Chains A and B, each alone.
Chain A
Amino acid sequence: MSFGAVDAKADAMQPAAAHSPQPAPSKRLVWAMPLIPALLFLTIFFIYPVADLLLLSFTNKSGAFDLEQYRAVYSSKVYIDVLLITLKIALMIVAFCLILGYPVAYLLANAAPKTRARLVIWVLMPFWTSFLVRAFAWMILLGNNGPITKAVNIFGPEPPIKLIYNLTGVMIGTVQALLPLAILVMMAAMQNIDANLTRAASTMGARGGQAFWRIYFPLSFPGVAAAGLLTFITAMGFFITPALLGGPRETMIAQIILVQVQELLNWRFAGALSLLLLALSFVVFLLYDRATGLSSQAQSTQPGRVQRPPGRLAATWSASLLAILGWLGSASDAAMKALEAVFPRRNDRPGRRGPGLLQIAVGMVLVFLVAPALIVVPVSFTSGSFIAFPPVGFSLRWYETYLGSPVWVAATLVSFLVALVTGLLATILGGAAAFVFIRHEFFGKRMLVALFIAPLVIPRIIIAVAMFYLFAKLGLIGSLWGLIIGHTVLALPFVVVTVMSVLKSYDERYDHAALTLGATPLRTLRHVTLPLIKPAIIAAFLFSFVTSFDELTVALFISAGTVTTLPKMMWSDLILQMNPTLAAVSAVILIIATVIVLAAEAIKRRASYE
């Protein structure tokens, strides 16, 4: 969906060198330099080992070329069916994340910095409770004896709607997990939108609906596209939450692959299924990229470029999109008018109605986001030995179990350290790569972008097994660096897509102005570009941090039990039953993380006063 005049295909034909402001013939390939470290990193630690494992799927037991695994996939309908179920669930998750996330991102992006800082803390809540703890919190909240069902039961003996162990349960659990991601990516893009543009539209007579759909929405679109892509790819790999909260039909392909790898030791078949998953995701990515123009270069702000006229198909596409947006604008305006007729606007507070609705909607989403945490914190103070709500009695025994154990505390510190280094490494490598992707056109770019997203598509168990063989050769098994490298591979997709989405709407003329005024490229980056795209950089760092902090599979393989991370401790504590120690751990992490976010905000504010 190219809203500008140029479609992505026309862009791809532009020679790369033409885009640099001052192309120096001798430095033809210098522009690609920032991509090299990330590309090398990914090739060595991801592509090489994983390809090695996946290619097994083309061999038979004696190692000769054979398509028997693929024949096995097609001989049973179940694998294709599960793949389609996975696709359906992932698309539904994306739709809910975008629809619920957009108003929140909009409100946050347009709020005063202080309000934003306060609200972001709530959005981040789901990040700080382990996915396992969250799933159990939902089991309590939505279960038969949970507070929500009990409230519904006042009106009848049986709950009229089953909220869990079906598709509804899967949606509730997964959307809550992915919403923060969608909100932060969209918010980062929206913070770059010049508020004067919407204001100008209003001045020129556009009503609220028209101004939003025809001006603001198209400008925010790169963020929506990126959020959609990240949530889609992540959702395709989900299986633990769907397995815990879903019904018999909510079987995800990652679950099937996991069983093939771990229980049946059938790596060739798992490789075949993974390649099918990869192929399906790749096709979706290409279609998506073509439709959204996510990986194509930022267009409207390129100076001195010959803009090709759009092809006929693209022109029709753009025209119909504009028509749809215009129609949406009129529709919203009409709806607002109808609403005003029913609930007349109070004269003393003009314009009160619109924001009121938005704030109520956002408030509801925020309650949804923090609901599991609202269960986890009280449960952690129980004196009983079960996770139950309302909790029985009051005691600090689970905090004593956690904080009094050197093993638990050490695991917490290791996780913070690994997540911190992973966050920094992934942000630097991925951020630099994103710059090259957005600022230059070159042959095979789309393939490369897809490659950077692939670590999210390939099931983690496959990555973990593949990395083990490589890391064993490199002596990285059981080392902190092994863990950091593994987690960085997993975090790179989040960084690349997030930074790309913001750079896409970044006005490069700021950079050109600085360069013209004599700043070196590095100074321009440091004093102009980076400060302007800071929300995206922070979001990218946060995603990387959380990816590492909550990661289990790769940690289990690479650490080989010698380096213990927090998710690993929590997981092994869960062997016999879900006990309140995990709730106490989650509550402590929640508090630490929130304090850090608050402190960072306070420091920033103080710095800006000086």
Chain B
Amino acid sequence: MSCLVSPPTRRAFLAAAGGVGSLAAFPISTGWAQTNQRLTVADAGGEITRANETTLYEPFRKESGIAVTVIAREHEPISQVKALVESKSFIWDVVALTAQQAMTLDAEGLLDPLDWNDPHMNELIPAAKAPNWMAHSTYAAVMGYRKDKYGANGPQSWADFWNVQKFPGRRSLRKSPIETLEMALMADGVPIDKIYPIDMDRAFASLDKIKKHIHVWWTGGAQSTQLLQSGEVDMIPIWSARLQTIIDAGAPAVTVWNQGIYAADGWGIPKGTPRAPAARRMIQYFARPDRQAARATLLGNGPSNLKAFDNIPADRAKLLPTFPDNLNKMLANDDGWWFKNREKAIERFNAWLIS
């Protein structure tokens, strides 16, 4: 970790000054000085808040002088973002959002634009950038398996996961079409660059083959870790950071990066918050490579600014989704395809499950 506290920059000062100017557009009673110096950030809570606190929020407070309050939000926060924008009760100024969530909100005009006039924001990987959303972090759905079950010859691809003769054992899949359909296609031999647009008929035909061998359909992240850690199942698609948590704690599990699916986690600003200028400044801060490097040493999520790897120890770097060797083996989630097709996909998936 390099310097935790850097002196206020000229850019930061200008952003603050700009903030004061644009406040005139928002008639609020609390007064500009106070509102400009206070931000409420809604993130996922728990471990993630603890890591963000030391590597992002606290250094930002020190550098900007802005008071940052942190609260834990729903896993799926977009309905609350809609409610707070429409009722103009801006209890949150910066919200942690996935790309999907940001697209859904953006389609209804519920996000404020970001300020892309920032060198670090333009260093980010393509998956981390959208007009009204920026990702500071990446996650991946990878295969995890039990070392005590398969030893050195574990499953290495989704085709292996589907191969119940060669790899007997209990399996779990996620009870959602997202990522599962892609895995089904890869298992059926579709190359990584031909996954999108998803051929749903082919994906469901592939799922038909594995359906009766699925011991558990998991619904929550904590459930997926519990299943693998307790040995309830022998292989499972799981988010890499969670898998790393149980490996670090001593579970005999292995991460398979090959044919993993990566996506990005980022931030958005609820449309109309009077504290948008300060919020924009904060999101810019999250793009800095040194901050992302510090965060990646605490959480198993990768940086979205690959320059961060200059400051991440090598043994840690290889556990992260955006580590080049891992990234090369993985599929980038096509959020655009999912945004257009997920309603249909979810409906078909639910019908398929209960049939």
Contact = CB atoms under 8 A, between A and B. Distances in A.
A386 B225 CA distance: 10
A144 B92 CA distance: 43
Nearest to B229: A386
5 contacts: A76-B351, A165-B215, A248-B175, A573-B46, A577-B225
Given A386-B230, A472-B84, A576-B46, A248 B222 contact: no
Interface in A195-212: none
Nearest to A243: B219
B104 to A, nearest CB: 5
A82 interface: yes
Given A78-B351, A262-B79, 13 more contacts: A143-B230, A145-B231, A251-B350, A263-B104, A264-B342, A264-B343, A469-B86, A473-B87, A561-B71, A572-B44, A572-B72, A577-B225, A578-B226
Interface in B42-97: 42, 44-49, 71-74, 76, 78-80, 82-84, 86-89, 91-92
Contacts of B78: 262-263, 265
Given A140-B230, A244-B219, A244-B220, A256 B79 contact: no
Nearest to A559: B71
Closest 9 CB pairs of A and B: A561-B71, A572-B45, A472-B87, A575-B46, A262-B76, A572-B72, A78-B351, A472-B89, A248-B353
Most B CB contacts (10 A, CB to CB) among A247, A259, A577 go to A577
A249 B217 CA distance: 10
Interface of B: 40, 42, 44-49, 71-74, 76, 78-80, 82-84, 86-89, 91-92, 100, 104-105, 108, 170, 175, 211, 214-217, 219-223, 225-226, 229-232, 241-242, 245-246, 249-251, 342-343, 346-347, 350-351, 353-354
Interface in A216-257: 243-244, 247-249, 251, 256
Contacts of A247: 217
A261 B73 CA distance: 16
Contact of A561 (B42, B216, B246, B346): B42
A557 B108 CA distance: 20
A143 B233 CA distance: 10
Given A577-B222, A577-B229, A578-B222, A249 B72 contact: no
Place the interface of chain A in its size category.
35 or more
A560 B74 CA distance: 10
A562 interface: yes
B87 A264 contact: no
Contacts of A261: 79
A265 B46 CA distance: 25
Most A CB contacts (10 A, CB to CB) among B42, B72, B246 go to B72
Given A259-B346, A572-B45, A575-B47, A556 B230 contact: no
A566 to B, nearest CB: 13
Interface in A375-393: 384-388
B347 A386 contact: no
A576 B241 contact: yes
B49 A572 contact: yes
Contacts of A328: none
A575 B222 contact: yes
Contacts of A387: 226
Nearest to A575: B46
Interface in A407-452: none
A117 B262 CA distance: 56
Nearest to B44: A575
A266 interface: yes
A144 B227 CA distance: 10
A82 B222 CA distance: 25
A244 B232 CA distance: 13
B87 A468 contact: yes
Interface in A360-401: 384-388
A54 interface: no
A81 B354 contact: yes
Contacts of B170: 144
A291 interface: no
A76 B350 CA distance: 11
A243 B241 contact: no
Nearest to A169: B216
A482 to B, nearest CB: 11
Given A251-B354, A385-B249, A557 B45 contact: no
B104 A577 contact: no
A139 to B, nearest CB: 6
Contact of B91 (A144, A244, A560): A560
B352 to A, nearest CB: 9
B76 A469 contact: no
A465 interface: yes
Contacts of A140: 230
Given A262-B74, A577-B245, A578-B225, A557 B46 contact: no
Contact of A249 (B215, B246, B354): B354
Nearest to B351: A78
A261 B83 CA distance: 11
B230 A145 contact: yes
A572 B251 CA distance: 23
A568 interface: yes
B98 to A, nearest CB: 10
B346 A264 contact: yes
Nearest to A244: B223
A71 interface: no
Given A76-B351, A78-B350, A472-B88, A576 B72 contact: no
A277 B211 CA distance: 29
A599 interface: no
Interface in A263-297: 263-267
Given A144-B170, A262-B76, A577-B225, A468 B219 contact: no
